[in-house]
Amino acid sequence: MKRRVLLTLCTPFMFTASAFADDFKQEASKIAQTYEGCYTKQDAACVAALYTKDGVFINPMGKHDVATAYAGAFKAGFNKLEATVDEVWQVDNDTPAAMGKFHISGKNDKGDALDASGIWTGVYVKVDDKWKLRMLAASPAPPKKD
């Protein structure tokens, strides 16, 4: 009996959370496509506009101002980004998160290929009725096991 009551209480939430995840995955995918477009244009201000005013980009070297970090990546020669959105979830009622994979590439000033892949995780908030990144963390892909 207790199990049936618990299942009855949890079922509406499971459907609501699932519907939210499906809807937000589409939204996060749109943001990722826009991010790719800004990256291809090598437009650091365009990338930064996808974040809140106090949004941050975090990588293994630490926390960075978004526009500054991307301006540096573009100056180094990175000019292409491919990103997937593999999973989304709710941190709380007003804060969704997403994670996926990324691959960036380009050429340095000597013409040598630049290439990096990894995993990203983002936390989003609504600003003026639009989803924006509050924080995006990117880490390199783990080494492949032999």
Pairing of strands 95-107, 113-127: antiparallel
- pLDDT value at position 96? 96
Residues 110-129 have pLDDT tens digits of 999 999 999 999 999 999 99
Does 112 reside within a domain?
yes
Does 30 reside within a domain?
yes
Spatial distance between the Cα atoms of 64 and 54, rounded to a whole number of angstroms:
11
- pLDDT value at position 18? 63
Total structural domains within the chain: 1
Residues 52-111 have pLDDT tens digits of 999 999 999 999 999 999 999 999 999 999 999 999 999 988 899 999 999 999 999 999
What CATH number corresponds to the domain at position 65? 3.10.450.50
- pLDDT value at position 46? 98
Q: What's the residue count for the chain?
A: 146
Does 103 reside within a domain?
yes
Does 75 reside within a domain?
yes
Does 145 reside within a domain?
no
The DSSP annotation for 91-116 comes to: EETTEEEEEEEEEEEEE-TTS-EEEE
Spatial distance between the Cα atoms of 28 and 18, rounded to a whole number of angstroms:
15
Does 108 reside within a domain?
yes
Does 73 reside within a domain?
yes
Query: Tokens representing 46?
Result: 């365009």
- pLDDT value at position 22? 72
Full residue range of the structural domain in which residue 59 is found: 2-140
Does 146 reside within a domain?
no
- Return the H-helix or E-strand segment holding 65: strand 62-65
